């Protein structure tokens, strides 16, 4: 594969790829700490004998009355201040920790913007969309637990989700290596509005945003240069996407797919269909090993791998709305509500490069 001189000239002299924005996963700590007292209260309650309709309600919203986080019947000051205190402390710790871990080693400069829309075939924007939705939905459940009325919880959660993401973008804006990204902020807002709009219109989530990953290992592919020098794509993959399973789950865009999982029965109002049956539309990429191209420089030599073969993928696959599976076990409902953020593995149809491909499991 030939690499243009202009592309090689712009490359650094050492392997120093720009990190993937894994930072969006760090605010998860805040959400978990915010919900900790609620989960503890839930698990300490007994499972009564009253019958509930679990199939038509969202466990992270209205169904929380019987399910994951049971809202107080009216505003509960103790719960609210407990959640607010934990949330504020976690947010402060998150900000300090994020700066120390991610930004401290880079030079700071005046606030500036950066257009990263063309990077990673927009897969990072899909990640921002999903993450903001996740934060919004989780924060809403915690706010309802405090007894906050539904409209107040809805729009407060919208603010919380965007505040978490905006913190990262603001720090980017003062870093010499990055910049404040308007497209990232747009994706964050869009993801949180997916939740907010549905709750305002339907008081439930008929379309879930989910993530999946095929857990592929780094590719063991030798890339040769006409001079006889060689490099290994697996090393580049580890540098840019990480080595551990958890890190690669968050950062390897080639293995990751973001899904919009649509609940058929609630959308078409077909009560004869199973209430847990969904159809999911997914977006992913393949052969993407750099922000703009699959090129890098190692020991003063420029390498390129399938620079013209980066491709976008669209998927169609059945899915399950796990939390709409009826169960009387409170801990099972808790687990199903959490797992609703992950696409259930199933056969899928892929469309890319003008052709259709089949997959046994996606």
Higher pLDDT, 17 or 266: 266
* Cα gap 231→222, rounded to integer Å: 6
This prediction's pTM: 0.80
Non-local CB neighbours of 232 within 8 Å, separated by 6+ positions:
220, 221, 222, 223
pLDDT at position 71, please? 67
For residue 57 the two structure tokens come to: 């309600």
Neighbours of 142 (CB within 10 A): 30
Separation in Å, CA 299 to CA 229, 231, 275: 9, 10, 57
**Given a cut of 60, is residue 51 above it in pLDDT?**
no
Angle at 286 between CA 213 and CA 260, to 5 degrees: 50
pLDDT per residue over 238-281, tens digit each?
988 888 888 888 889 999 999 999 999 999 988 889 999 999 99
195 touches 133 (CB < 8 A): yes
Dihedral angle of Cα 282, 288, 289, 291, to the nearest 10 degrees: -90
Place of tokens 């789950």: 249
Dihedral angle of Cα 293, 296, 302, 303, to the nearest 10 degrees: -70
* Cα gap 285→254, rounded to integer Å: 5
**Given a cut of 90, is residue 168 above it in pLDDT?**
no
For residue 268 the two structure tokens come to: 């078409």
**Given a cut of 90, is residue 152 above it in pLDDT?**
yes
pLDDT per residue over 277-307, tens digit each?
999 999 999 999 998 989 999 988 999 998 6
pLDDT per residue over 53-62, tens digit each?
433 444 444 4
Three-class HEC string of the chain? CCCCHHHHHCCCCCCCCCCCCHHHHCCHHHHHHHHHHHHHHHHCCCCCCCCCCCCCCCCCCHHHHCCCCCCCCCCCHHHHHHHHHHHHHHHHHHHHHHHHHHHCCCCECCCCECCCCCHHHHHHHHHHHHHHHHHHHHHHHHHHHCCCCHHHHHHHHHHHHHHHHHHHHHHHHCECCCCECHHHHHHHHHHHHHHHHHHHHHCCCCEEEEEEECCCCCCCCEEECCCCCEEEHHHHHHHHHCCCHHHHHHHCCCCEEEEEEEEHHHHHCCCCCCCCEEEEEEEEEECCCCCCCCEEEECCEEEECCCCCCEEEEEEEEEECHHHCCCCCHHHHHHHHHHCCECCCCCEEEEECCEEEEECCC
pLDDT per residue over 88-123, tens digit each?
888 888 778 777 766 777 888 999 999 999 999 999
Q: What is the mean pLDDT of residues 21-49?
A: 43
pLDDT at position 326, please? 83
Q: State the pLDDT confidence band at 337, using cuts at 50, 70 and 90.
A: confident
Question: Domain-by-domain residue ranges, the chain?
Answer: 5-359
Place of tokens 């879930």: 208
* Cα gap 22→19, rounded to integer Å: 8
């Amino acid at each position: 594969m030939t690499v243009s001189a202009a592309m090689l000239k712009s490359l650094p002299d050492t392997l120093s790829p720009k990190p993937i924005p894994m930072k969006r996963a760090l605010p998860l700590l805040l959400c978990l700490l915010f919900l900790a007292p609620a989960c503890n209260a839930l698990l300490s309650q007994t499972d009564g004998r009253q019958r509930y309709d679990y199939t038509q309600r969202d466990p992270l919203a209205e169904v929380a009355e019987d399910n994951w986080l049971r809202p107080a019947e009216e505003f509960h000051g103790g719960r609210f201040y407990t959640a607010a205190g934990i949330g504020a402390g976690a947010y402060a710790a998150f900000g300090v920790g994020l700066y120390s871990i991610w930004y401290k080693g880079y030079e700071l400069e005046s606030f500036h913007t950066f257009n990263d829309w063309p990077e990673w075939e927009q897969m990072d924007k899909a990640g921002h969309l999903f993450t903001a939705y996740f934060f919004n939905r989780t924060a809403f459940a915690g706010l309802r637990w405090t007894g906050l009325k539904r409209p107040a919880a809805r729009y407060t959660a919208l603010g919380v989700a965007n505040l978490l993401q905006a913190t990262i973008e603001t720090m980017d804006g003062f870093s010499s290596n990055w910049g404040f990204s308007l497209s990232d902020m747009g994706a964050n807002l869009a993801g949180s509005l997916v939740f907010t709009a549905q709750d305002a219109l339907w008081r439930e989530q008929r379309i879930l945003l989910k993530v999946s990953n095929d857990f592929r290992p780094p590719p063991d592919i030798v890339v040769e240069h006409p001079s006889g020098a060689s490099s290994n794509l697996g090393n580049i993959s580890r540098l840019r996407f990480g080595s551990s399973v958890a890190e690669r789950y968050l950062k390897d865009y080639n293995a990751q797919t973001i899904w919009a999982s649509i609940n058929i029965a609630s959308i078409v109002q077909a009560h004869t269909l199973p209430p847990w049956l969904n159809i999911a539309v997914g977006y992913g990429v393949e052969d993407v090993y750099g922000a703009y191209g699959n090129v890098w420089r190692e020991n003063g030599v420029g390498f390129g791998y399938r620079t013209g073969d980066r491709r976008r993928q669209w998927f169609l696959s059945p899915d399950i709305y796990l939390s709409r599976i009826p169960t009387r076990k409170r801990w099972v409902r808790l687990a199903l509500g959490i797992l609703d953020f992950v696409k259930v593995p199933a056969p899928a149809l892929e469309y890319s490069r003008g052709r259709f491909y089949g997959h046994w499991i996606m």
